[in-house]
Structure formats: structure tokens, C-alpha cells
Chain A
Amino acid sequence: MRSARAGQIVVALAAAAVLAFAVLGDDEYTQHLLMWTALNAVLAVGLRFMLLVGETNIGTGAFYGMGAYMGAICTTKWGLPFPLALLAGGLLAIVVSTGFGLVTLRTKGPYFMLISFAFTEVVRLIYTRVEWLGGNSGIIGIFPPQALDPWMSVLTFLLCGGLILMMYLCEQSNLGRVFRAIQNNDAVVETVGIDVVQIKLVCLVIASFSVGIAGSLHAHIYNVISPGDFSYLVPVFALAYIKIGGDANVMGAVIGAAILTVLAQMLQGMGSLEHVLFGGAIVASMLVLPDGLLGGGRRLLRLFSRGRA
């Protein structure tokens, strides 16, 4: 049954991709919009992955940034092949998140939230101070191989879909059950012999790996990165995607990412209004639709069917 549902998701994603390309055509702007959506979806699902164990990991922004910087260095400074640059982003995120998790995961709840926030901001500060990383202006000219150009959006879709699928399958497995058990009551999990900190570390590392690879992709899609791209706002926006879409399952995060990415593009260049509308959307959804669009839709359906019955 479980694999059947995973199959459904793959089919749904593939169908969505085909549909998106078919309907929206293949002009460059649309393709970029789709790629940004895919990246944001990985961020949202990655952030949600750690919410499964009950922790808000604002460090997601730092790991995304590390992936991006690592990918950029591999391509522009070391001249490594593109697949290696992608992998290196993920690997760096694994290494750093392991160290970060070993020190910080003994804390939980508000402490972990604040520490991961400070981590993201400090890592960003470090980029601005290191000349080799381009300081405040960052790194430019990060291009994937030219031969890949026509395939970049498909590749991004497949890769991001794969990462999301990986996290989805983890969530559906016994590991995912342990995640949710920790969120419910970590003391109970501890009493049956499961090392809670170790499991949280596994969770952090898987999420960071996914986000790290997405970061490296980000660098190659945007071609330019700078420290300001990887502030605490990255996970904050990801959280907004989850909230808008609904946090009950992976699809909510993906749908939320799609809606807000398109919205953000429409607002781009509107200056302060962009902040107002984005912030306003988050606040409004918290006040009006606490379960997100999917949850709200489900509630509406239930009301409707009750009315008919």
C-alpha cells in the first residue's frame, strides 16, 4: 500500500511537470519560474522534515547557503564537473549538519530554534567577511555545462522531485513513525531504547543533505549568489509555503511553494509592497486558515458533504 502511494506521488509529480511544461510552454521565464518553485518545494519539505520531530530548524537557510557556495566554488574555482558540484553541496551539508547537530540537538524547542537562527545569521556574516568567497558581493558566473541548457529545467524537476520523494518515503517508513513519536512524546521514545538525539541527528542530516543539493542547484540556476540570499528569511519563507499549503502532508508544502513562488514573482520589483504582501499572507493565513489551503479545503469539503447528508 505504501509503495502504491509513493507510486501515485511519482505519477502525480510527473504529470504535474508534463502539464506545466505543456501549458506554460518553454519560454525562459516560465522555465525559471518552474525551477524556482522546485527549489522552494525542496526547502519547504526539508524544513517540514524536521518539524516531524518537533524542531523548527532555521539552520535550513545556512545549509542551503552552504550547498550553494560549495557548488559555486566547485564550478567556478575548481572546475569540477556539474554532477560533482551538486553532490559536493549535499556532502558539505551532511558534514556540517552532523557537527552542528552533535553540539546543538541536546537542546530542543525554543533553544534549538534560536540557536539555529543565530547559526544561519552567523554563517551569512562569515560569507561577507571572507574575500575568497567574494565577500558582500558573492560569487558570479556559476553556469552549468552549456550542453545541459535545454535540459536544465527537466533536470531540476527530476532532482528536486527525487529529493522530495526520498523525504516522503522516509516519513512513511518506521523511521518516520519514530520521528512523529518523538514529536508526540520524546520521553516515551527514550524509554523503549531509542536514542532520541541520534534520531534527531539522522533527521537533521537527511534534511540538510536535500537542502544542500538544492542549494548547489540554486547557484547554477541563478548563476549569481551573495550572502544576502541565505539569511534566516529562507526558512521563514519555507515555513510560509508549508503554512499556506497546509502542514498535514508533503503535498501541502509543495503546493504552498508553488503558489507563493508565483506570487512573489508577480510582486517582484514592487519594493516594500512585496514585504507587506508576503508578511500579510503569512499573518492572514495564521489568523484565517490555520491548517493551510489544503486543510481549509478539506474542512470546506467536510462542511459541504455534511450539508448534503
Chain B
Amino acid sequence: MTAPLLVAQAISRRFGGILAVNDFSFEIQPGEVMGLIGPNGAGKSTTFNVISGFYKPTTGKLTFLGEDITGLSAAAISRRGLVRTFQHGSLLREMTVHDNILIGALRAVRDNSGREMRVRETAALLGLGGLLHATAGSLPHGLQRMLSIAIAFAARPKLLCLDEPLTGLNSTEAVAALEVIGRIRDEYETTILLVDHNMRVVMRICDRIAVLNYGQKLAEGTPEEIRNNPDVIRAYLGDGE
């Protein structure tokens, strides 16, 4: 077995009196798609913000590619190959699709012709090839979602963290998005961490899943194991779905 890509050791994050994430440990192996699920307010977003450097963990340690990245800035973590998207689709609304993706590639590729190639390749992969000169804010919702992934993926991260990439997509769009995520993993050997509400989707695409509840890890395992875990069923699958 190879060394894990990302190791989170007992990370916690406190806001005032509230412990949003409590003593959460997990590892991500190279090449896998890991899912992070849990009810609303379970601490998924906070976990995302902590590993991507937007919040400093109150306690705990983060190791990426064998290097301690605890407390580094978001930009510094990103330059090491851990890039995220945001829950509500994160775009440069007033700029063109081309310039959006270019911003993603700017730090990762050093010469202009290489950047142009990177932009075109990424846009084609995410189904934005014909829309390079459209303004990002004018795209339909589904394509805006794709564009926010394109910005992150233009940096060709080693670990791509997707925060609810499928929320608000209709079923056709969701299928297309899943296919793209699969290609990003297979063709570009990108490891993926994914947060989503849609259990069916997560179960289908993830190799391994961690379940958060009230800021703590409830369970971890293959989709099969998670599906049959009584704690998970009680805490999460029981209500709704």
C-alpha cells in the first residue's frame, strides 16, 4: 500500500462555544474517491474549510504528501496540490469562461501558450468548449457548476475537493457531472474528496465514505459497509431519503 495523500489527525475546530468539528481523523489514499457525508450542520463544510486552509484547526494536524500543512494559508495549500470548490458554485461572475479557467491555470502553468492549451483542454473536458467567450454569470446553473470545477481542476491538483458539486443539478446534468468526475479521476489520476447531500450519488461514485455527525466521525468504510452500518442508518438514513 502506498502512503496516504492526506492525513488528518484528530482535527477540531471551535467557534466560540460550539465545537463544529471534534477530534476527526481520516486518511485519503491516492487515486480514490472519498465521500464525506452527514446531516446538515454535521461539520462537513467546516472540515472542508479546515483542510483547505480557510480556517485554522483549533487542534489537530494535517499532513499532505508527507508534509505538515497545518496552519498554512489557503493559497499555500493550493500550490501544494490540494484545491477545493465551494458549496454555492464559485465563479468570477463578470469574467468570461476563458478568463475564469485561465485564473485557475495561472499558478500551475508558467508559459502563456501552455496556459491557453490548459484552458482549452479543461473547458472541453467539462463541456464548456464552445462557451469560452461567454460571461460566467450568464451561464445556466448546471454549466456554472461545471465551470467552478473547471477553475479548480485547471490547476491540475493532486487532491480535488468538491463541496456539493451536484446540488441543484437535474438528473441529466448530474449524470454528466458524475461522468466528468470519473474521467478526472481515471484519465488524470486525480484523487477526489467529495461532499454531497445526495446519498445515492455518493454511494455510486465513492470508493470510501466517512460519516460525520455532530462534528464527530460516526463511521468510515466502503459504501456497502456504510449502507449496512446501524449507527449510520439511525443518524442519517433514517430520516428523509
Contacts and interface: CB of A to CB of B under 8 A. Distances in A.
Interface of A: 174, 177-178, 180-181, 184-185, 187-196
Contacts of B106: 174, 177-178, 192, 194
Contacts of A194: 75, 103, 106-107
A148 B211 CA distance: 76
A185 B92 contact: yes
A81 B98 CA distance: 48
Contacts, number: 82
B14 to A, nearest CB: 22
Interface of B: 52, 54, 73-76, 78-79, 83-86, 90-95, 99-100, 102-104, 106-108, 112, 148, 151-152, 154-155
Contact of B90 (A174, A180, A185, A193): A185
B103 A187 contact: no
A188 B103 contact: yes
Given A192-B78, A193-B107, A195-B75, A184 B102 contact: no
A193 B155 contact: yes
A191 B78 contact: yes
A180 B107 contact: no
Contacts of A174: 102, 106, 112
A177 B136 CA distance: 14
Contacts of B108: 192-193
A195 B91 CA distance: 17
Contacts of A195: 73, 75-76
A192 B90 contact: no
Contacts of A189: 103
A57 to B, nearest CB: 21
A191 B95 contact: no
A185 B74 contact: no
B52 A181 contact: no
A180 B154 CA distance: 18
A192 B95 contact: no
Contacts of A192: 78, 83, 103-104, 106-108, 151-152, 154-155
Contacts of B85: 191
Nearest to B92: A184
A193 B95 contact: no
Contacts of A177: 95, 99, 102-103, 106
B78 A193 contact: yes
